[in-house]
Amino acid sequence: MGGGMPFHLEKGVIGLRFDYLCRSGLVRDHIRARLAANENPFRMSKTLNINDIPIDAMGDSKSEFKKKLDALLVEDPVLVPEERRSGDEYIIDQARLLGLNQDTAGNRDGFVQYWATTAPALNANLQSDLRQALIQAIDSLDSIRQRIDFWWDCTMPDHHPPTVITSLDVPWIARVLFCTDHEPIDHDTTKPPRGPGDEPIDVPVP
């Protein structure tokens, strides 16, 4: 999610994507059912299918993801007050992220490489941790707690194995935290855009 880390808590491209996806009750129900069936949550995220809308949450280009958010909004138009769900709103919000966290092919691939390959090698229970965190977050929603937010938290001690947890300390939101130590997650900023809808990769500022 990040490259250089000026903060201990950051919003990255995949976090923002899942913020938007999980604002749909249809998506939450779909994810919850597949997690209950003990699916690998990383593989599941690449094969979401909501009323014949196929979604690769970590692989769709920015323009593809934008179109699918708009299609989801047609299928499930229920809005939580002050929540943004449309494709245009997503494009605006991702542009407000730190440059190394915005929606580019390199940033998405950096997240996938770390959490689907590197992190499981450091924590054999990572899939179970993520499954449990997502189920806990979804099951916690009610008339007061109506939101799930996804964040990268880098407050763990150095060399501590990465994990995923849910925090319910704030009554009106469930926070899913992808937790690492202080070491930055490197991104390959040399990759060209992967296809239509992907902007050039941001090169980190020294």
Sheet strands side by side (includes 9-10): 9-10, 147-153, 173-179, 163-167
State pLDDT tens for residues 128-146. 999 999 999 999 999 999 9
Residue with tokens 């763990």: 156
* Helix H or strand E segment including 122: helix 119-122
Question: What pLDDT is recorded for position 191?
Answer: 45
- Per the domain annotation, does 203 fall within a domain? no
- Which ranges in the chain belong to alpha helices (H)? 13-21, 25-36, 41-45, 62-75, 87-95, 105-113, 119-122, 126-139
Whether 187 is in a domain gets the answer no
pTM of the model: 0.85
The tally of domains found in the chain comes to: 1
Establish if 186 belongs to a structural domain: no
Sign of the torsion formed by the C-alpha atoms of 121, 30, 76 and 164: negative
Answer whether residue 30 is part of any domain. yes
Per-residue pLDDT of the chain (206 residues), as tens digits, is: 444 444 578 899 999 999 999 999 999 999 999 999 999 999 999 999 999 999 999 999 999 999 999 999 999 998 888 889 999 999 999 999 988 889 999 999 999 899 999 999 999 999 999 999 999 999 999 999 999 999 999 888 888 999 999 999 999 999 999 999 876 455 444 444 444 444 443 333 32
Judge whether 200 lies within some domain: no
Report if residue 1 sits inside a domain.
no
- Give the structural domain span for 66: 9-179
The confidence score (pLDDT) of residue 61 equals 96
Handedness of CA 73, 76, 79, 85 (dihedral sign): negative
pLDDT of 177-204, one tens digit each? 999 987 645 544 444 444 444 444 333 3
Q: Is residue 133 part of a domain?
A: yes
